[in-house]
Amino acid sequence: MRHIVFLIAYLYFLYIDLRKQEIDLVALAIYAVLALVTIGITKDEITMTKFVDIVYSIIFGLAIYLLSYFSGEGIGLADGIYFVINGFLLTLKENLILFITGLLVAFVIGIFMFYFGKKDSKKMLRMPFMPCFLPAIIGYILCIV
């Protein structure tokens, strides 16, 4: 159940981030409610170890949010909020893999954009972060299937 909620939300945020290059806070609030409802429905499956992992995953999301806030939105604030909400659905390991994969893909894309992009607009390079998670999401889907 948590996998389905996570994947549907990711696909929606991917679409929105590609179209607008920003994520709507109302959609994030709905995602948070759905994540909490999912936790409520599957609460019988949560052991103390899983609960501690959820707490660590939420703390990791808060760290990303704070990093975003103090770095002048080097990573968008909405992306930080997204990782906080993911903390309810994903383990710390899954959240870390998602974030690190996103950073690596963004790094490679950023290098290509810098060297092969328009020379006069290098100061204004921006790209959405959600598409960078796609390799990790594909791997995630292959692992749960």
Per-residue pLDDT of the chain (145 residues; tens, 9 = 90+): 888 899 999 999 989 988 888 888 899 999 999 999 988 888 777 788 888 988 999 999 999 999 988 888 778 888 889 999 999 988 899 899 999 999 999 999 888 887 877 666 655 567 788 888 988 888 888 887 6
Among residues 60, 124, 119, 68, the alpha carbon closest in space to that of 90 is found at: 60
Asked whether 130 and 75 are in contact (CB, 8 A), the reply is no
Which residues, 6 or more positions from 1, have their beta carbon under 8 angstroms from its beta carbon? 38, 41, 42
pTM value is: 0.85
Domain boundaries of the chain, sorted by first residue = 2-144
127, 20 Cβ separation under 8 angstroms: no
Spatial distance between the Cα atoms of 143 and 125, rounded to a whole number of angstroms? 34
Rounded to the nearest angstrom, the gap between the alpha carbon of residue 119 and the centroid of all alpha carbons in its chain is 30
Containing 109, the helix (H) or strand (E) segment is helix 92-116
* CB-CB contact of 138 with 131 (8 Å): no
